[in-house]
């Protein structure tokens, strides 16, 4: 008998997923019921199509995971076809796994891909299988020409709200939209709102790196070619967008005037100063379409009725100038420029909000640099951004700006790690972030003057950049925090209500001072990575949305908080990102944590308002947090702390001296009555003398805010 040996190659005999067309994948389950997920949702399939866009063109490529990130999407088109349901997004979500061959696919390749049919923010997609290499069936296959649609083919008439019944068939398709006019422009990422002759709107979105923001308001677009993307956020208005992958797909009609370099002199006027406003204006076609006029429009206070002043050309240059009249002390002046060319096109500059200043006879002050009137900005740009209100001094250089340091990056201060200063005596618009080199010697409580700084907006956070800072001595008293009600930050995004307190030292406590605050949300549900260190402090355990976001223990290139705070929402922050100070105990807050009050620098990060405590002295009487002792050398018990705090004489009569470990840096001490009422507070370091008011004889308590928390000593006044 002969034995026949049969060897089976299982890989060759394994069943392949079914081959589906783009149209089959793009077919929704029940569009009439607004269920626009695919009938093939969750199934593993193969699909063929022509590559329209490449991975490294995508805005997400190499941005979410550093240099090894491969998060990106490409779009496929049915070979030789355009129109409804002929395009499909192929997505790679993971930021570290490298899809084999996926990132190397090039436009014009006819390919076969395998993946799972999925759905994300309104868009049917194919989540590519990273273990299966793409098959290139043919190179250099032409992309079928786009079909022409109108904005109301996808969005409801007159706005940017999607129309799923009409628009679903166009998602992923390559189309053309003609005869548009730009009505607003936003950046980071680019969002250009355009309108056709029937006032129907479409968003031109920067899904790809090749689209620039060189399309100012009123730019006429003969046509725009791109891919239709359905964007359906978890909150907010869903819309359909057109996504050109390069500026070459934006066909501009008559170019509008180019306006730039809007400046004024003086930058900080007083009540006797007229203000010269200068701007550079140029035509894209000086011969056939020259600039015909430039006007300066200005208004006073909260008025949005602007007065026009003709601007005069300076010689044969592109610079135009006009003069604003002097105004009374404290007057808020806001203005913009409009340039016109021979063809009738015009440009307003600035596009997003007017330039402004507030008259101050004392010179440049923080309160003027920060001051804005939200109603003016919203009226000026009703369809624009609402996530921040920028300074009217943005881009201008200021000098002789005084302030007192409220947060430092001096290691001996164990403070925030960033420089903030505040204008003494002001209760609004008074704080600002200061950036520059050589500022490590600044300490909390220093009285300083900032010179030669450029006012800058860092994603909505006004700052004095490239600043030169001079210390003129210690302030007569430290800045005391402004006490705010917690309802000012309900929902995290009350920008108009919270803008007056940006970068100020503020304190939050219960509306009823006899009641404690709670950590109502130890972690923010569903938070992206930049918010995963946030926790919320509020008054009501049953309302985790009411309160202030608190961030501590995280420092990266774009996440700013203190490394000298014990109270964090996860122990992973001790070593992740920048390391938390090992000399302090690590305390993880929970939904049982209570505290009497909390203070810190009020800021704006990643679209939310937050509080940045500088160190443990910004927390009052924290209870029910899970703490570890910190490093073995750290003092942890009350008895150990009392041994290194020396206070004399005790009993005392008129003055007290205190000696603390040098490693503690600047420490807050408070003299309290027997009822716990504050009598005197002072920042001290090493050996200091407390300057006390006249006190009656009796018993008192001295609370010392050590790096490990508060310690209380009993004192007697003779």
Query: What's the pLDDT tens digit per position in 574-585?
Result: 888 888 988 888
Cα distances (angstroms) measured from residue 329 to each of 272, 326, 355: 9, 9, 18
Q: How confident is the model at residue 594 (pLDDT cuts 50, 70, 90)?
A: very high
How far is residue 263's CA from residue 178's CA, in Å, rounded to a whole number? 36
Using CA atoms, how far apart are residues 432 and 447, in angstroms rounded to an integer?
14
Average pLDDT of the segment spanning 129-149: 92
Residue burial 255-282, b: 16+ Cβ < 10 Å; e: rest? bbbbbeebbbeebbbeeebebebbbbbe
Backbone angles phi, psi at 415, to 5 degrees: -105, -155
Q: What is the largest CA-CA distance in the chain?
A: 118
Answer with the residue of higher pLDDT: 595 or 68: 595
CB within 8 A of 476, min separation 6: which ones?
none
pLDDT band at 94 (very low <50, low <70, confident <90, very high): low
Mean pLDDT of 429-458: 95
Tokens representing 411 are 């290691």
Has residue 290 got a pLDDT over 80?
yes
CA 496 to CA 379: how far, in whole Å?
Answer: 13
Alpha helix stretches (DSSP H) within 508-637: none
Task: Give residue-wise pLDDT tens across range 549-558.
Answer: 999 999 988 8
Residues 6+ apart with CB under 8 A from 644: 635, 660, 661
Residue, of 366 and 680, whose pLDDT is higher: 366
User: What's the DSSP call for residue 132?
Assistant: S
Structure tokens at 668: 């807050």
> What is the per-residue pLDDT for 273?
96
72-76 average pLDDT score: 93
User: What pLDDT shows up at residue 664?
Assistant: 75
**Which tokens is 384 given?**
């624009």
Q: How far out from the chain centre does Cα 19 lie?
A: 43
Concatenated DSSP letters of 8-32: --HHHHSPPPPEE-HHHHH-EEEGG
SS3 assignment, position 117: strand
State how far the Cα of 158 lies from the Cα of 647, in Å rounded to an integer: 73
Under 8 Å between Cβ of 533 and 511: no
Q: What is the pLDDT of residues 25-41, one digit of tens each?
A: 999 999 988 899 999 99
pLDDT at site 321:
98
Indicate if the pLDDT at residue 89 is higher than 90.
Answer: yes
Contact 86, 144 (CB under 8 A): yes
Residue 33 burial class via C-beta count within 10 angstroms: exposed 0-12, middle 13-18, buried 19 and up: exposed
Structure-token pair, residue 508: 């939050």
Q: What is the DSSP string of 301-322?
A: TT---PEEEEPEE-TTSSEEEE
What is the pLDDT at residue 524? Answer: 84
Rounded to the nearest 5°, which phi and psi values hold at 263? Answer: -130, 170
Strand 587-588 to 567-568 pairing: parallel
Mean pLDDT rounded to a whole number for the chain: 88
Question: Is residue 209 scored above 80 in pLDDT?
Answer: yes
Residue 529: which residues within 8 A CB-CB, separation 6 or more?
none
Contact assessment for residue 358 and residue 266, using Cβ atoms and an 8 Å cutoff: no
The pLDDT, as a whole number, for residue 710 is 80
Q: What is the DSSP letter of 564?
A: S
Cα 597–655–667 angle (5° rounding)?
Answer: 35
Strands (E), 289-430: 291-300, 307-310, 312-313, 319-324, 332-341, 346-349, 355-358, 397-398, 401-407, 419-422
Q: If you ran DSSP here, which 8-state letter would residue 266 be given?
A: S
Buried-state track 298-315, b at ≥16 Cβ within 10 A, e below 16: bbeeeeeebeebebeeee
Min mean pLDDT across 174-183, 340-349, 359-368, 522-531 is at: 522-531
Share of the chain above pLDDT 70, in %: 92
Which residue ranges form the domains of the chain, and what is each CATH number? 19-138 (2.40.50.140), 147-252 (2.40.50), 258-363 (2.60.40.10), 397-474 (2.40.50.140), 482-627 (no CATH), 638-717 (2.60.40.3080)
Q: Which helix (H) or strand (E) holds 495?
A: helix 495-498
Mean of the pLDDT values across residues 488-514?
85
Residue scoring higher pLDDT (111 or 673): 111
pLDDT at 235 over 80: no
Tell me the mean pLDDT in the region 595-621: 91
For strand 147-149 and strand 44-51, is the pairing parallel, antiparallel, or unpaired? unpaired
**Lowest mean pLDDT: which of 167-171, 273-277, 693-697?**
693-697
Lowest-confidence region among 132-136, 352-356, 402-406, 526-530? 526-530
**Residue 383 pLDDT exceeds 70:** no
d(CA 648, CA 651): 8
For residue 285, the SS3 value is coil
Cis amide bond preceding 523, omega within 30: no
**Alpha helix stretches (DSSP H) within 415-491:** none
Q: What is the 3-state secondary structure (H, E, C) of 67-96?
A: HHCCCEEEEEECCCCCCCCCEEEEEECCCC
Per the listing, tokens 């031109």 go with: 204
């Amino acid at each position: 008998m002969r034995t026949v040996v049969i060897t089976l190659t299982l890989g060759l005999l394994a069943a392949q997923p079914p081959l589906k067309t783009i149209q089959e994948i793009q077919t929704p389950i029940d569009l009439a019921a607004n269920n626009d997920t695919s009938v093939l949702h969750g199934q593993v399939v193969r699909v063929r199509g022509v590559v329209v866009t490449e991975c490294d063109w995508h805005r997400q490529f190499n941005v979410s995971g550093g240099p090894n990130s491969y998060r990106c999407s490409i779009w496929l088109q049915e070979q030789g076809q355009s129109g409804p349901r002929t395009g499909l997004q192929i997505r790679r979500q993971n930021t570290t796994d490298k899809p084999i061959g996926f990132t190397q696919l090039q436009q014009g390749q006819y390919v076969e891909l395998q993946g799972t049919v999925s759905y994300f923010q309104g868009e049917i997609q194919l989540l590519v299988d990273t273990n299966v290499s793409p098959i290139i069936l043919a190179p250099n296959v032409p992309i079928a020409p786009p079909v022409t649609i109108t904005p109301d083919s996808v969005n409801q008439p007159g706005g940017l709200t999607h129309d799923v019944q009409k628009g679903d068939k166009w998602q992923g398709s390559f189309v053309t939209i003609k005869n548009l006019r730009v009505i607003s422009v936003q950046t980071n990422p680019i969002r250009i709102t355009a309108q056709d002759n029937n006032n129907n709107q479409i968003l031109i979105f920067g899904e790809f790196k090749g689209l620039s923001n060189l399309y100012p308001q009123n730019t006429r677009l003969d046509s725009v070619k791109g891919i239709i993307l359905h964007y359906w956020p978890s909150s907010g208005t869903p819309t359909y967008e057109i996504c050109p992958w390069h500026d070459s797909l934006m066909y501009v009609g008559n170019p509008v005037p180019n306006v730039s370099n809007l400046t004024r002199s003086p930058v900080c006027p007083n009540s006797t100063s007229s203000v010269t406003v200068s701007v550079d204006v140029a035509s894209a076609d000086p011969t056939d379409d020259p600039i015909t006029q430039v006007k300066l429009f200005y208004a006073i206070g909260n008025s949005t009725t602007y007065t026009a002043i003709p601007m005069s050309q300076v010689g044969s240059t592109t610079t135009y100038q006009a003069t604003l009249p002097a105004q009374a002390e404290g007057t808020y002046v806001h203005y913009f420029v409009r340039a016109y060319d021979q063809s009738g096109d015009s440009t307003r500059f600035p596009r997003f909000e007017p330039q402004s200043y507030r008259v101050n006879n004392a010179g440049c002050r923080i309160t003027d640099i920060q001051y804005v009137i939200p109603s003016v900005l919203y009226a000026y740009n009703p369809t624009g951004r609402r996530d921040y209100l920028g300074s009217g001094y943005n881009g201008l250089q200021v000098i002789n700006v005084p302030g007192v340091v409220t947060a430092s990056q001096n290691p001996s201060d164990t403070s925030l790690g960033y420089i903030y200063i505040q204008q003494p005596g002001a209760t609004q618009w008074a704080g600002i972030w200061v950036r520059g080199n050589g500022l490590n010697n600044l300490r909390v409580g220093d009285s300083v003057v900032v010179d030669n700084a450029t006012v800058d907006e860092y994603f909505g956070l006004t700052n004095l950049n490239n600043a030169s800072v001079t210390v003129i001595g210690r302030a007569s008293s430290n800045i005391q925090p402004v006490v705010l009600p917690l309802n000012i930050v309900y929902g995290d995004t009350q920008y108009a209500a919270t803008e007056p307190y940006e970068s100020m030292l503020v304190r939050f406590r219960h509306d009823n001072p006899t009641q404690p605050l709670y950590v109502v949300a130890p972690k923010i549900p569903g938070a992206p990575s930049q918010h995963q260190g946030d926790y919320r402090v509020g008054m009501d355990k049953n309302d985790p949305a009411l309160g202030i976001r608190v961030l501590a223990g995280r420092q990266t290139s774009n996440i700013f908080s203190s490394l000298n705070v014990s109270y964090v929402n996860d122990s992973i922050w001790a070593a992740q990102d920048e390391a938390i100070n090992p000399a302090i105990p690590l305390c993880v807050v929970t939904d049982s944590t209570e505290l009497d009050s909390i203070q810190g620098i009020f800021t704006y990060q990643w679209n939310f308002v937050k509080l940045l405590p500088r160190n443990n002295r910004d927390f009052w009487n924290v209870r029910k947090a899970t703490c570890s002792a910190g490093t073995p050398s750290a003092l942890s018990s009350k008895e150990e702390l009392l041994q290194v705090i020396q206070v004399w004489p005790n009993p005392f009569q008129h003055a007290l001296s205190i000696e603390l470990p040098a490693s503690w840096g600047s420490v807050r001490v408070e003299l309290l009555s027997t009822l716990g009422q504050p009598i005197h507070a002072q920042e001290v370091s090493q050996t200091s003398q407390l300057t006390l008011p006249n006190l009656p004889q009796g018993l008192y308590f001295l609370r010392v805010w050590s790096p490990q928390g508060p310690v209380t000593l009993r004192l007697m006044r003779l």
